[in-house]
């Protein structure tokens, strides 16, 4: 780019207009409403806040949301890597159809996915009965909850990996094979490090989505405080819905949930940057 374009002195028109529209819309529709949540959360005193967070059902909800989203994201990385690899590297009938289907979880409303999965994995459902035979109860347990999160998260990982795999030059692999490395060794030491940043991006997106997910999990999880299957989003919603509305509590829990998501995304970014530096060396 020419040096002239620096510092907003570009010859291309529209800087003021687009800046104005972008900032105005972003502030009005996203930032100001979010800031209200922050402000509202601070209506609480520190002691009340701690008391709320230490309540068994709140604590349990955070543990459930984070652990289930984490397990689901790991599963998504395993299967997502496999699916992306298959879609990029192999030719087989039905490949185009399979590729088009990956985004179904984005296109299918979460409530529809939620009620469907919940019925499928219940005792009367096809897959639920199958799992029951090997002693696993899926619907209304954490297993079901995790299955719903795998469903929601799979496109994030596949779509993050696909472009990187497509651009990955064959020459590295060829060199590795020529030098006598086994296929598994080549994958582990040559291909995998190249995919790592994209895989982490996909992992992060799936995790962030999973931690905050509402629609697809509330039906299959059963929302039982005793079984520990309430998720954080459910607790927040409960505070908005039940007879005695508790806006302050909802805002406080929402704030913690926001902080957790940002912290995790930050952590993943740091790992990613470190990994990128290592590859460059």
Partner 1 sequence: MKEQENVKQGSLKKGQNKNGEGKLVPCLLIGISVLFLLIMLVFPLVEVIYRSLKEGFEVYQNAMTASNTLSALGVTLIATVIALAVNTVFGLCASWLLTKFDFRGKNVLSTLIDIPFSISPVIAGLAFIMTFGRVGWAKPLIDWVNEVFGMDISLVFSVPGVVLATIFVTFPFVSRELIPVMQAQGSLEEEAAAMMGAKGVTIFRRVTFPHIKWALLYGMILCTARALGEFGAVYAVSKARGKTFTLPLEIDALYMAGSSDSITQAFAVSSLLVIMAVIILILKQVVEYRGKREQ
Distance in Å, CB of 85 to partner 1, minimum? 7
Distance in Å, CB of 2 to partner 1, minimum? 7
Distance in Å, CB of 140 to partner 1, minimum? 14
User: Of these, 106, 172, 192, 263, which contacts partner 1 (CB under 8 A)?
Assistant: 106
Give the count of beta carbons closer than 10 Å to the beta carbon of residue 6: 9
- 62 to 101, contacts with partner 1 by CB under 8 A? 79, 82-83, 85-87, 89-92, 94, 96, 98-101
User: Of these, 74, 190, 237, 271, which contacts partner 1 (CB under 8 A)?
Assistant: 237
Distance in Å, CB of 228 to partner 1, minimum? 19
Q: Is 132 in the site for partner 1 (CB under 8 A)?
A: no
Asked if residue 102 lies in contact with residue 83, where contact means CB atoms within 8 angstroms, the answer is yes
Distance in Å, CB of 277 to partner 1, minimum? 19
Q: Is 258 in the site for partner 1 (CB under 8 A)?
A: yes
Is 174 buried (19+), middle (13-18) or exposed (0-12) by CB count in 10 A? Answer: exposed
Distance in Å, CB of 167 to partner 1, minimum? 13
Which three-class secondary structure string do you get for 216-258?
CCHHHHCCCCCCCCCCHHHHHHHHHHCCCCCHHHHHHHHHHHH
Q: Is 30 in the site for partner 1 (CB under 8 A)?
A: yes
Q: Toward partner 1, which CB reaches closer, 100 or 281? A: 100
Q: Is 34 in the site for partner 1 (CB under 8 A)?
A: yes
Which H or E run contains 207? helix 192-212
Q: Toward partner 1, which CB reaches closer, 8 or 281? A: 8
Q: Is 31 in the site for partner 1 (CB under 8 A)?
A: yes
Name all contacts of 254-259 with Cβ < 8 Å and 24+ positions apart.
254/37, 254/41, 255/37, 255/38, 255/41, 256/53, 256/62, 257/62, 257/65, 257/211, 257/212, 257/232, 257/233, 258/37
């Amino acid at each position: 780019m020419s040096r002239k374009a620096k510092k907003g002195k570009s010859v291309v028109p529209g800087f003021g207009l687009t800046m104005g529209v972008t900032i105005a819309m972003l502030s009005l529709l996203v930032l100001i409403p979010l800031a209200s949540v922050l402000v509202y959360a601070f209506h609480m005193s520190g002691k009340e806040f701690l008391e709320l967070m230490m309540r068994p059902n709140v604590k349990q909800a955070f543990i459930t949301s984070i652990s289930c989203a984490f397990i689901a994201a790991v599963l998504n990385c395993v299967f997502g890597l496999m699916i992306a690899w298959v879609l990029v590297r192999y030719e087989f009938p039905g490949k185009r159809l399979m590729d088009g289907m990956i985004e179904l979880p984005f296109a299918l409303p979460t409530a529809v996915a939620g009620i469907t999965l919940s019925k499928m994995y219940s005792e009367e459902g096809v897959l639920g009965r199958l799992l029951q035979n090997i002693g696993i109860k899926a619907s209304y347990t954490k297993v079901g909850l995790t299955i719903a999160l795998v469903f929601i998260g799979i496109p994030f990982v596949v779509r993050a990996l696909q472009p990187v795999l497509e651009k990955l030059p064959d020459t590295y692999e060829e060199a590795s094979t020529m030098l006598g490395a086994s296929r598994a060794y080549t994958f582990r030491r040559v291909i995998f490090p190249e995919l790592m940043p994209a895989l982490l991006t996909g992992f992060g997106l799936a995790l962030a989505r999973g931690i905050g997910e509402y629609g697809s999990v509330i039906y299959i999880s059963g929302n039982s405080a005793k079984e520990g299957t309430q998720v954080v989003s459910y607790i927040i919603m409960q505070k908005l819905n039940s007879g005695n509305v508790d806006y302050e509590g909802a805002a406080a829990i929402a704030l913690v949930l926001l902080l957790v998501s940002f912290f995790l995304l930050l952590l993943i970014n740091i790992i990613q940057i470190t990994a990128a530096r290592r590859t460059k060396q």
